[in-house]
Chain A
Amino acid sequence: MTMTMDKSPQIDSHEKEVKVTLRIKRYNPEVDTRPRFQEYEVMLKPGDRVLDALHAVKWKIDGTLSFRRSCAHGVCGSDAMVINGENKLACVNLIRNVGTDLTIEPIRGLPVIKDLVVDMEPFFAQYRSVLPYLIANDDPGYKERLQSQDDRERYDDTTKCILCACCTTSCPVYWANDEYVGPAAIVNAHRFIFDSRDQAASERLDILNQKSGVWRCRTSFNCTEACPRGISVTKAIEEVKRAILYDRV
């Protein structure tokens, strides 16, 4: 069985390198009293990732630059940062798409520890506060619980969250008010509130009905725009608000 390969793409592995300028916000707590910008120039192919640009700096020019990264293809959520003013993962944005003039800063709203590394503990504490795990006290025995395809689809969008903090640290309310649990925590509450197997929706809704909860959201949609997984974050928050108002899931 063969097919015509007319539409088959040709990938050019010999793409010409271009000069990429990075302005990186640096801060070393052992030396600096305040953050500063430092500029680097590296040669990269247009098909390289922003993460490759950071690696080029770290591995060839300046080993003191610190940033988190792991999987390098957008599933682990380590390398959220502000790239040219927008919250993005460095590993899913190619130079071709973001341009050769890059300004890179740490995500906002969490304390900066060093360079692009922020303290993630407040973020994970907010995550833990919404009971982000299945609570079901029935005994299903030695077989799976049944769930219809429609019921599974109901919470599919919010299962995609990788806890990268792009949404939470793009939220103006979160920047201004560290009491707010933030979009990511609400997304992870939503994932269980609308799971037909779960029995603790009302507890989670009570938590999110407090003044640290969903009512802080001003629907600016920054979170939805920032999400690298394409989750409709604002919609999830609104669904939780509606569930609280009308007392139904």
Chain B
Amino acid sequence: MPAKFGDFGHKELLCQRNWQKFFISDFQKRDIRAKLYGVKVHYHSYDAVIVGAGGAGLRAAIEVAGKVKTAVITKLYPTRSHTGAAQGGMCAALANVEEDYWEWHAFDTVKGSDYLGDQDAIDIMCREAIDAVIDLEHFGMAFSRTPEGRIDQRRFGGHTRNHGEAPVRRSCYAADRTGHMILQTLYQQCVAREVNFFNEFQVFDIIFDEKDGERRVAGVVAYELATGDIHVFATKGVLFATGGFGKMFRISSNAHTLTGDGPGLLFRKNIPMEDLEFYQFHPTGIYGFGILLSEAARGEGGILRNVHGERFMERVAPTVKDLAPRDMVARAIHAEIREGRGAGPDKDYVYLDLTHLPPEQIDAKLPDITDFARTYLGIEPKQQPIPIQPTAHYAMGGIPTNVEGEVIADGNGTVIKGLYAAGECACVSVHGANRLGTNSLLDIVVFGKRGGRSMANYVSQTDHIDLARGVEQDVLDRISAIKSATGSKKVSDIRTELQLTMTDNASVVRTAESLDAALTTINRLKSEYSNIAIDDKGEVFNYDLVEAMELGHLLDLAEAFVIGAQARKESRGAHWRDDYPTRDDSNWMKHTLAYKDADGTVRLEYKEVVSGRYEPMERKY
């Protein structure tokens, strides 16, 4: 029985407790050699399944586990998830250090989104942010503290007091490892609640039941990495929390495992993808590596400089300077480099300068990112500025959902019963055309919780659907097709070429020509993808097979991304078109919905933006 929080009954357990009691690996009980005689299929029945165990998946699990029988399926160990790489903080108008209101936070988020964010969802996120932070603190999160012992807060890009007057201290943080602390804390709470994890299982398919034209979730099919076995999970509800797809770019802050598995899977099942063309490039990635250097560095007083030492953000955003939103800063860096003011032999990077900050402040507030600079570039940030370049960071778009986390199938808000999504893979849309720093950690805990809660409610009021026999056949066929393929192309070569064309042609600045070039390459790569071969034909930890499957998702999403960007003839937030350099509210203040039709072509539809208190105005900082 999952323990009730706060009542662990550990006193009774103490006398016989030692760790072997917790040993639940059934791996050793199995003889892998038996696998040589063919793939085994296992069947499970759950009320609810959560796919992905980063911040959103774990937060949902805390909400669902204990209420209904829940399985969390993750292709990694939960603590490996990329939430752990988030650094700077999580905004909430706690007003612990200065005056602040959640309405100001909402205004900043709407303005940051370049008026593409849905204001109903933004209101919910900013209002519930305060409780979300308090919840995390009660869960044991190790926030940095003020001298009075309250949760400390610091400045962050685009977050201002009183509708843009000046930067405000709103970001709750734990040094520069806030994401790590959130991920650990949520995982700890899942351990406390004895959540049922299926670690290193990758979901390859979702099963719908269709009756009278209405689709309902019936189950998922997963692949067990350790054995190559197939597991069919019959379930009433599925929540996808699989994260982003930043590995379609060459220079990226994303983990190797962020390949858009959830969105890619659903896209093939005729579920639209919303606003894929809006992709955030973080201004400060370590040059050459793309590793994230938190905006907190600028929140603590860091300054961006070009090769001449000039603080160029003073020209671009006179009021908030280096703390302008990420899309503007990334474009400013791009412009410096394009106009010949970049540094280095190729003049292709600028500097993040922390040398004027007190060394104690750097050690206390920015220990990890300064270590990254030492490790990867051999630079001492206390004495030298750090070479940086924009890096692919975050997908504003993804699986369309409403504010309850329910996935919607069209522009009219039709809900697919039993299907939920939260976190970066979802698009509520609270980030619109450009996400503000810290709002992603907020998004995962607020909408992870809401998605989990509504899934728990739904599955406790509905019955199981009988799964037809052989639902796993499609996955078995795909696996054996890839293993037996004898093509001439390598998965890694196709992926590298995709990453290069996306970084060159569909990143910070786009034009019709660059997007055409990207689409031509993607189409060629898609045909090459049907002509691949892999080396590993085995069952045990066959990452060769997994990477081939993942590449399919990246190619599909990149195609829809570029087609959406080609169609959108305006510049808004992170989507900047040099050939259409202004925002066009009369024609384009709408969300893109990309569908993959049965013949494989991508079709675009559009959806109204939910308006609210804040009228669109020019975006100046």
Contact = CB atoms under 8 A, between A and B. Distances in A.
Interface of A: 1-5, 7-14, 28-31, 47, 58-60, 62-64, 66-78, 92, 94, 96, 111, 113-115, 117, 119-122, 124-129, 131-137, 140, 142-149, 151-152, 155-156, 159-163, 179, 181, 185, 192, 195, 197-198, 200, 203, 206-207, 210, 212
A78 to B, nearest CB: 5
B115 to A, nearest CB: 32
B540 interface: yes
Contacts of B189: 133
Interface stretch (B117-125, B372-380, B445-453): B372-380
Contacts of A146: 148-150
A75 B134 contact: no
A218 B523 CA distance: 61
Nearest to B377: A11
A181 B145 contact: no
A143 B151 CA distance: 10
B80 interface: yes
B149 A147 contact: yes
Contacts of B148: 146
Nearest to B81: A76
18 contacts: A2-B305, A2-B309, A3-B309, A7-B384, A8-B384, A9-B377, A29-B540, A30-B36, A59-B490, A64-B544, A71-B84, A74-B372, A119-B25, A133-B188, A133-B189, A161-B184, A162-B79, A200-B8
Interface string B527-544: 000000011101111111
B19 A152 contact: no
A1 to B, nearest CB: 5
Interface stretch (B201-209, B342-350, B421-429, B606-614): B342-350
B22 A8 contact: no
B77 interface: yes
B24 A125 contact: yes
A120 B19 contact: no
B130 to A, nearest CB: 9
Given A7-B385, A63-B534, 9 more contacts: A11-B344, A30-B33, A47-B288, A59-B491, A73-B289, A75-B368, A131-B10, A143-B134, A160-B180
Contacts of B76: 70, 76, 78
B308 interface: yes
- The prevalent SS among residues of A at the interface is loop
Contacts of B457: none
B144 A152 contact: yes
B145 A152 contact: yes
Interface centre among B33, B142, B377, B539 (most CB of A within 10 A): B142
Contacts of B368: 75
A137 B257 contact: no
Interface in B1-32: 6-8, 10-11, 14, 17-25, 27-28, 32
A136 B5 CA distance: 10
Contacts of B540: 28-30, 66, 113-114
Nearest to B307: A5
B541 A113 contact: yes
A124 to B, nearest CB: 7
B567 interface: no
Nearest to A71: B255
A192 B541 contact: no
B88 interface: no
Top 5 closest pairs, chain A to chain B, by CB: A134-B140, A63-B535, A121-B25, A59-B492, A129-B19
A212 B19 contact: yes
B310 interface: yes
Contacts of B99: none
A174 to B, nearest CB: 12
Nearest to A134: B140
Interface in B492-549: 492, 534-536, 538-544
A237 to B, nearest CB: 16
B351 interface: yes
A13 B535 contact: no
A140 B138 contact: yes
A119 B27 contact: yes
B585 interface: no
B151 A144 contact: yes
Contact of B145 (A69, A149, A210): A149
A5 B384 CA distance: 9
Contact of A119 (B28, B288, B311, B491): B28
Interface string B142-172: 1111111111000000000000000000000
B77 A120 contact: yes
Contacts of A181: 19
A58 B133 CA distance: 42
B134 A9 contact: no
Contacts of B24: 121, 125
Question: Which of B19, B131, B184, B287: most chain A CB closer than 10 A?
Answer: B19
B359 to A, nearest CB: 15
Contacts of B28: 111, 119
B25 A94 contact: no
A64 B309 contact: no
B462 interface: no
Contacts of B39: none
Contacts of B543: 58, 66-67
A66 B541 contact: yes
B237 interface: no
B326 interface: no
A155 B174 CA distance: 13
A140 B490 CA distance: 57
B492 A11 contact: no
A76 B82 contact: yes
B376 A2 contact: no
Contact of B27 (A60, A121, A135, A136): A121
A203 B14 contact: yes
A5 B33 contact: no
Contacts of B139: 134
A127 B24 CA distance: 13
Which residue of A62, A144, A156 has the most chain B CB atoms within 10 A of its CB atom?
A144
Contact of A8 (B14, B343, B346): B343
Contacts of A149: 145-147, 149
B114 interface: no
A210 to B, nearest CB: 6
B558 interface: no
A77 B541 contact: no
Nearest to A146: B149
A135 B9 CA distance: 11
A133 B140 contact: yes
Contacts of A152: 142-145
B33 A142 contact: no
A76 B80 contact: yes
